[in-house]
Every structure is written in structure tokens, then in C-alpha cells.
Amino acid sequence: MTAGTGAFSGLSRIGQIAMIVHDLPRAVAFYRDVLGMRFVFEAPPKMAFFDCTGIRLMLSLPETAEFDHPGSIIYYTVEDIQAAAAVLESRGVALDSPPHVVARLPHADLWMTFFRDPDSNVLAMMSEVTR
């Protein structure tokens, strides 16, 4: 193994998150049209990519049975969680629960709500609301 030019101090920046889906066109429509995410490109027939302000979200069909399961929870930060939840609900997204406070931070309340994509992957929105 060859050493790089800089000293490695630890992982910190997310470059890409992969989510397993079973119907790529349906998933692309959900993430692009319902959630309003910026579609970047598709590598048919197995992958599609979205830009999340510098972090790439890859939707892909499972390569093997080992990878055929719902993915990790992705938390999207929004300014106004109530307004964002209302927009998603108007687009047919069923929230698991209404936006609610999950933690009282020194400077703000941390609000969250959870929902699912068409492949049952859990997604979340979060917002720090100043008191």
C-alpha cells in the first residue's frame, strides 16, 4: 500500500450514500419529482445519482442478495420542517409521525419527522428551531 501525500487523520466527509431500490424508474421519480432532489445522471439499468449539496446519493439495484435490504437512514436538514412536511404530504408522502421535538439543545430545539421511499427505506427531515 502506497502512502499518500497528506497524513490521514480520520474520516469526516461523506462523498456518496448508496440506497438499494427495486424499481429504478419509480425511485428516480420519487426522489426527483416528489422530494424535489437535483437529479444528476443515470447509469442504466442499475444506477441513478442525485446531488445533495455536494454529497452524491446513488440509487441502485442490489448487486447480490447480500445487498438486498433497506438502507441506512438519511437525515435531510431543512429550514422549516413544518412547511417541508406539508409540501411532502401534499405530494403523497405519508409521514411516520408529524414533525416533533427529539432534543432540546442549548440554542434550539431539534425537530424530526420520518417517512419512507417506495422501497421502504427510512428517510428523515431534521431542523434546529431557535427558541
pLDDT digits (tens, 9 = 90+) for 72-97: 899 999 999 999 999 999 999 999 99
- Binning pLDDT at 50, 70 and 90, where does residue 8 land? low
Q: Where are the domains of the chain?
A: 16-130
Looking at this protein, which amino acid is placed at residue 36?
A: G
CA-closest candidate to residue 121, choices 75, 70, 76, 74: 70
- Percent of the chain clearing pLDDT 70 (strictly above): 95
Query: Quick check: 127 pLDDT over 80?
Result: yes
- CATH number corresponding to 16-130: 3.10.180.10
Mean pLDDT for all residues in the chain: 91
DSSP secondary structure, the chain, as one string = ----SS---------EEEEE-S-HHHHHHIIIIIS--EEEEEETTTEEEEEETTEEEEEE--SSGGG-S--PPEEEE-S-HHHHHHHHHHTT--BSS--EEEEE-SSEEEEEEEEE-TT--EEEEEEEEE-
